[in-house]
Amino acid sequence: MDGRAFFRAFRGGGGTKGMTDLVSLTDVTKVYQGGITGALNGISVTVEKGEFTAIMGPSGSGKSTMLNLVAGLDKPSSGTVVVGGTDLGKLGEAGLARFRRDHIGFVFQFFHLLPNLTALENILIPAQLKGNTATVRARELLEELGIKDVADSYPARMSGGQQQRVAIARALINNPTLLLADEPTGALDTRTGDQVMELLGQLHRNGQTILLVTHDAKLATRHAARVISVMDGKIVDDARLESPERAPSDVIRVRGEEASR
């Protein structure tokens, strides 16, 4: 399926030129209650608008923690998290909810569709929370993601791939500034996982800024333009990868660490 022409209409941002920092983590540390070592230890990183960035690392490395901080689902023990110019540390619970509703699209590993709602109803939830009726757009998303036939089906009757597509549509309904995906293929078979990643790739090519967490190096390097490697709460590598549309680029220097090609 090639929906590039369609996805250009849903671009969340511009192309590779004229990028600006969309996400900025500065000296961020996260220590959970009772933890001796931190989930994140003084990391600093920025993500620019229009980037497709993969955060990679083994289990317990802190990659999901980074994603949660960017989404405003969690707060750092110290440091600042700024997304789209908004310092998330200054927002309360209600403010963070509004922030997520207005700027973030989240795709979970286990889809997390509401079981008592149909596919269409699940997709509409974020729009309805924002006070919009977006049925037309929702149906268009269903059409373009190839899941029109399950619009009135309940999650229990869908395959994993279909559920994840519904979850992606739900994440896109409000035209989010930033699309976050936490192991989006973790619960899918290889073929379906590839399809989902291809979808995300197409979204990125149309300008959507994507931050993806994965433990799969092959998946990360095949689709993302940038891979940040995390281990023990620290960034150990940050590499831009060659792509047909880009010239080889220099190493991004990160504060406190140097990565080389």
Partner 1 sequence: MTAVLLKAIRDLRRRRLPAIVIFGTTLLAVLTATMTLSLMSQARDPYQAAFDAQKGAHLQVTFDSRIDPATLAGTPGLIGAAAFGGPYPATDMQFRAGGHKYLVTTIGRDNPNGEVEQLRVTAGRWPVANNEIALTRSFADLNHVSVGDRLTVLSVPEQPVLNVTALVADIDEARADVGGQQHSWVLTTAIGPLTLKGSSSYRMNYRFASDPTAAQLQARTEKLHASLPAGSVTDSVNYLFISSIFHVSTQVLTSVLMAFSVFALAATAAIVANLVTGIVISGYREIGIMKAVGFTPVQVVGVFELQVLVPAAAACIVGIPAGTVLGQPLVASSSQALGLAYQATFSPAIDALALGGALLIVALAALIPAVRAGLLKPAIVIANASAPRGQSGRWLRRLASRARLPRPVVLGLGDATARPVRAILTLAAVFLGIATMYVALGETGSFYGIYKYEGHLGNVDVVVTKSPAMADTDATQLISSQPETERFVAQTITGISVPGIADPAYSVVLRGNSSALGYQVTSGRWINGPGEVVAPAGLLHDAHLKLGDTFTATYHGSALKVRVVGVLYDLVSGPGGHELIVDWSTIAAAAPDLSPSSYLVTLKPGSSVDSYVKRMAAAQPDLLDVQANSTGDTAFLNSIAGVLFAIAAVIALIAVAGIFNTLMLNTRERVRDTATLKALGMSPRELIGMVASSAGFLALVGALIAVPAGIWLSRELFDLIISSVGGTAPPPSAHGAFEPWQVVVIPVAGVIVAIAAAVIPGRWAARTNVVEVLHAE
What CA–CA distance (Å, rounded) separates 177 from 100?
A: 10
Binding site for partner 1 (CB under 8 A): 64, 68, 71, 73-74, 93-94, 97-102, 104, 106, 108-110, 112-116, 125-126, 128-130, 154, 170
Contact of 162 with 209, CB cutoff 8 Å: no
Beta carbon of residue 93, minimum distance to partner 1 (angstroms, whole number): 5
| φ/ψ of residue 249, rounded to 5 | -115, 160
Q: How far is the CB of 66 from partner 1 (least distance, A)?
A: 12
- In this complex, which beta carbon is closest to partner 1, that of residue 215 or of residue 222? 215
Collapse the DSSP code of 119 into the 3-class scheme (helix H, G, I; strand E, B; otherwise coil) and give the result: helix
Element (H, E) at 78: strand 78-83
Q: How far is the CB of 177 from partner 1 (least distance, A)?
A: 13
CA distance 176 to 100: 9
State the nearest-atom distance from the C-beta of 174 to partner 1, in Å.
Answer: 8
Angle between helices 119-129 and 135-144 (to 10 degrees): 130
Q: Which is nearer to partner 1, 131 or 248 (CB)?
A: 131
Least Cβ distance, residue 139 to partner 1 (angstroms): 16
On the CB side of 229, CA atoms within 13 Å amount to: 15
Element (H, E) at 125: helix 119-129
70 alpha-carbon distance from chain centroid: 10
32, amino acid identity:
Y
Q: What's CA 184's distance to the chain center, in Å?
A: 9
Alpha carbon distance 162, 245 (integer Å): 30
- Burial, 16: exposed, middle or buried (Cβ in 10 Å; 0-12, 13-18, 19+)? middle
- Kindly state the smallest distance separating residue 147's Cβ from partner 1, in Å: 19
Nearer to partner 1, 82 or 113 (CB): 113
Q: How far is the CB of 152 from partner 1 (least distance, A)?
A: 11
